Structure formats: structure tokens, C-alpha cells
Amino acid sequence: MQQLLAWQEAAPPLPLDVDVETDVETLYRRILAREAKIGVVGLGYVGLPLAMAAVANGFTAIGLDIDPEKIEWLNEGRSYIHHIPGDRIAAMVATGRFRAHMHVALVNDGPVTLVLDA
């Protein structure tokens, strides 16, 4: 936590006029409470397991991908990667804490706190 606070003090102000969470203590608390929503960009060999790990650890994950077929399969609880069994995708979707979208503008269930670019 001390390291995070030191980082916050050293970091230059974000040049963005958007609602970005810059308060490290708030972010830390939201991560511990699993209130932080994780956005994963790209649901391939890296991004899909990353989203699965987030959901398995109690987070809500929003997956973004440009491939409409992958979005459809994943939201239907099916896998398109042969070594990831479909039942694991189905279980992730069944938690209600994962949804795949084609564009961030389609995400209408509140702000995403962390964005992981796969």
C-alpha cells in the first residue's frame, strides 16, 4: 500500500478529461472488496484466461473483442479454444459476472475500473 501511495504522489496528472479513478487508496479498497470491474481487451489465448481468472477470483469482468463470432460463443457459454472446456466458459457466464462486448460503448452496466490489454 505504501508503494502504491508513493507511486500516486510521483505520477504526473492524467491528461484525460474522463472519469478515471486516480485515488490509489480508493482503487485498492475497491480491488480488495471485489468492487473493481475488470475490462479485458482481446479475448484470445491471453485475454480469455485472464478474464476467467478475474471472475474466478470474485471480480466482474467485461471482455472486449472485435470478432463477433467469439462474442456470441462466449456469451452463450461456449468455448472456441480447444484446450479450454466449454463447461468452464458456461460456469463463468453463469456467475453473471462476465459479459463479452464488441465495443466499450455497448457496456452499459457502470464504469470499468481496471483495463487489462491482452
Q: What does the binding site for ligand NAD look like in residue numbers (CB under 6 A)?
A: 41-47, 64-67, 70, 118
Measured from the CB atom, the residue of 43 and 55 that comes closer to ligand NAD is 43
The residue sitting closest to ligand NAD, measured at its beta carbon, is 44
Cα–Cα distance between 28 and 38 in angstroms, integer?
13
Q: Taking a C-beta distance cutoff of 8 angstroms, is the pair 82, 98 a contact?
A: no
* Placement of cell 460456469 in the chain: 91
Measured from the CB atom, the residue of 7 and 45 that comes closer to ligand NAD is 45
Measured from the CB atom, the residue of 49 and 93 that comes closer to ligand NAD is 49
Q: Which residues are CB-contacts of 39 (< 8 A; sequence separation ≥ 6)?
A: 61, 62, 63, 64, 104, 107, 112, 114, 115, 116
Measured from the CB atom, the residue of 47 and 112 that comes closer to ligand NAD is 47
Nearest distance, CB of residue 82 and ligand NAD, angstroms: 12
Cα–Cα distance between 10 and 87 in angstroms, integer?
45
Nearest distance, CB of residue 108 and ligand NAD, angstroms: 18
Nearest distance, CB of residue 85 and ligand NAD, angstroms: 17
Indicate the length of the chain as a whole number. Answer: 118
Nearest distance, CB of residue 41 and ligand NAD, angstroms: 5
